[in-house]
Amino acid sequence: MLGKKLVMKAIDEIYGVCRLDNNQPVPDWVKDSRFYSITRTFEELSIVCSQESIPDDVKCERDWRMLKVEGPLDFSLIGILSSISTVLAQSKISIFAISTFDTDYILLKSKDFDNAIKALNNEGYEIIE
C-alpha cells in the first residue's frame, strides 16, 4: 500500500456506463462529453461518458459520480485502487474504476457518493470538491 494518502477531486457531473455490441462503431454522441472512456473487448463496446450525452435507447447504467485521483501517478506505485476500494467495500459501496496513463478515476453511484466521501475522509483521504 502507499506510504501517504492520496488526494482525490470530486468531478461535478453525472455519468453513464454503456454497453454496445462489440462490432458497433464508436457513436458520435460520445464526443459531446468532456470526459469519456471507450473500451472494446471481444464481447462488447463499453463507453463511459456524460449521462446527458447518452441517447435513451442505449443500454446504460446511469447516475454515476466520479472521483479523480490527483496525479500523475508513477507506474511503480502499488495498491492505489486496492486501498480505495477496500475503504469503500467496508462501507458497502460499489465502484467502477477506470485507469489511464496518468491516474485513476473511481465512479460511484450518485446515491452512495456522500457516504463514499465520508468513508474516505475518515481514512485520511483528502477530497477536493
- Please state the domain count of the chain: 1
Q: What is the mean pLDDT of residues 21-41?
A: 97
Domain for residue 31, yes or no? yes
Q: 114 or 81: which carries more pLDDT confidence?
A: 114
Domain for residue 46, yes or no? yes
Domain for residue 63, yes or no? yes
Domain for residue 1, yes or no? no
Domain for residue 2, yes or no? no
Domain ranges, residue 57: 7-128
Domain for residue 49, yes or no? yes
DSSP reduced 3-state for 43: coil
CATH value at residue 11: 3.30.2130.10
Residue 46: the pLDDT is 98
Residue 1: the pLDDT is 41
Q: What is the pLDDT of residues 50-93, one digit of tens each?
A: 999 999 999 999 999 999 998 877 777 777 888 999 999 999 99
Domain for residue 91, yes or no? yes
For the entire predicted model, the pTM comes to 0.90
